């Protein structure tokens, strides 16, 4: 995180940035994948979709770019691999804490090789939740999101907005957060985190409890009981959100 002032930074939208670190890291990851699996496809935040084939790698080389550019220590690398849309493996790596969250289909989720599970909290009472403020088309979602935040905060013990959705979801999988919700996300933000949560025994859905979170960009996650209570609160506001993230 040294010499941040020397980085080349591109403004992609309101509160949405990319740096040469994002681009260089993504290219390095893709080169490594291509060397081992030249026939696999890749979906990257910076480079888009490339290649053909049933195997797809979904990459966010620096989730939490705004944090990184401000020297705020909350960001990660997120990678997932899918076969015909079915998750096979996932990794979220926090380089500052040197924490490695991993999941393999059917084998559960791990933190540095130790099995992790979502919390068994029975309700939102006493729960610590993660969220993310919407930044794409923020004005369109402003009222609906703040209504969600107000209603959730009335029941939960606390809400945190660290600024890296992939790491937030890894924290759900490892029991640091009891639940999480956010709107306006992209597949590279959530693919690895989703698999971590599912393999850790948690639930993931869109704001209506359906399976369209990847297409819509809006997500709710957590242990089963917290998930259901959180969904019950945010779902009534979903009709006021532009469905395209």
pLDDT in the model for residue 89: 98
Mean pLDDT of all residues in the chain?
90
**Quick check: helix, strand or coil at residue 125?**
coil
CATH of 128-240, one of 3.20.20.80, 2.40.37.10, 3.40.50.1000, 3.40.190.80: 3.40.190.80
Strands 55-63 and 41-44: parallel
pLDDT in the model for residue 13: 46
- Please write the tens of the pLDDT for every residue from 149-199: 999 999 999 999 999 999 999 999 999 999 999 998 999 999 999 999 999
CATH architecture of 4-116: 2-Layer Sandwich (3.30)
pLDDT in the model for residue 171: 98
pLDDT in the model for residue 7: 46
Largest Cα span, the chain: 51
pLDDT in the model for residue 4: 46
Whether residue 55 has pLDDT greater than 70: yes
- Please write the tens of the pLDDT for every residue from 212-245: 999 999 999 999 999 999 999 999 998 877 544 4
Whether residue 120 has pLDDT greater than 60: yes
d(CA 82, CA 191) in angstroms, rounded, equals 9
- Give yes or no on whether 4-116 and 128-240 have one common fold: no
d(CA 125, CA 236) in angstroms, rounded, equals 20
Lateral strand order in the sheet of 114-116: 48-50, 41-44, 55-63, 76-83, 86-94, 99-104, 109-111, 114-116
Instruction: Indicate the pLDDT class of residue 3, thresholds 50, 70 and 90.
Output: low
Of 88 and 137, the structure prediction assigns the larger pLDDT to 88
Q: Give the start-to-end residue ranges of the domains of the chain.
A: 4-116, 128-240
């Amino acid at each position: 995180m040294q010499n941040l002032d020397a980085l080349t930074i591109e403004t992609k939208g309101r509160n949405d940035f990319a740096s040469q670190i994002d681009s260089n890291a993504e290219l390095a990851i893709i080169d490594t994948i291509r060397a081992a699996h030249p026939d696999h496809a890749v979906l990257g935040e910076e480079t888009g979709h490339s290649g053909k084939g049933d195997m797809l790698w979904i990459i966010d080389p620096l989730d939490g770019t705004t944090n990184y550019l401000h020297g705020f220590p909350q960001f990660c690398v997120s990678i997932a691999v899918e076969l015909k849309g079915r998750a096979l493996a996932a990794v979220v790596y926090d380089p500052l804490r040197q924490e490695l969250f991993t999941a393999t289909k059917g084998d559960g989720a791990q933190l540095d090789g130790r099995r992790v599970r979502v919390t068994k909290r029975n309700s939102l009472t006493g729960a610590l939740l993660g969220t993310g403020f919407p930044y794409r088309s923020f004005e369109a979602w402003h009222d609906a999101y703040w209504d969600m935040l107000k209603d959730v905060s009335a029941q939960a013990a606390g809400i945190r907005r660290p600024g890296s959705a992939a790491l937030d979801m890894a924290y759900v999988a490892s029991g640091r957060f009891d639940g999480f919700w956010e709107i306006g996300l992209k597949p590279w933000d959530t693919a690895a985190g989703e698999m971590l949560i599912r393999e850790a025994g948690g639930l993931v859905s869109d704001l209506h409890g359906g399976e369209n979170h990847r297409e819509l960009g809006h997500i709710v996650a957590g242990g089963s009981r917290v998930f259901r209570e959180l969904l019950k609160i945010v779902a009534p506001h979903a009709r006021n959100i532009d469905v395209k993230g």
